Amino acid sequence: MNRQIDPIWEALTAAFGEVRTPSERGRRNRAVRELKEAKATPEEIEIAVSFCRRNFTSYTEMAVCNWLSRALHEHQATGSQRETFIRLLRKEGK
């Protein structure tokens, strides 16, 4: 029996490692469920994990769920600021 690969589960496994206990499996399943409801992509999960790493010394999969929107907003704002900076540099170079 081949199980289909779940990209959300795999993204969390890449960030947190394999689950080993029933409690870990339950927490991971809950996080996967919430992230799927939010229609999060593996790339967005990576952004949220990076946000958690920068802002917290310790965090779980549920922190990724709790901070997903904030992390994506901050990431988008940073990208917009970078684009504005590049445009300004190009203007000055002309």
Query: Biggest alpha carbon distance in the chain?
Result: 62
Q: What is the pLDDT of residue 45?
A: 98
Q: Is residue 51 part of a domain?
A: yes
- For residue 10, pLDDT beyond 70: yes
Question: How does pLDDT run across 54-65, given as a tens digit for each residue?
Answer: 999 999 999 999
Q: Is residue 70 part of a domain?
A: yes
pTM score, two decimals? Answer: 0.79
**Does 1 reside within a domain?**
no
Range of the domain at 26: 7-93
Number of domains in the chain: 1
Contact present, 70 and 89 (Cβ < 8 Å): no
CB-based contact 71:48 (threshold 8 Å): yes
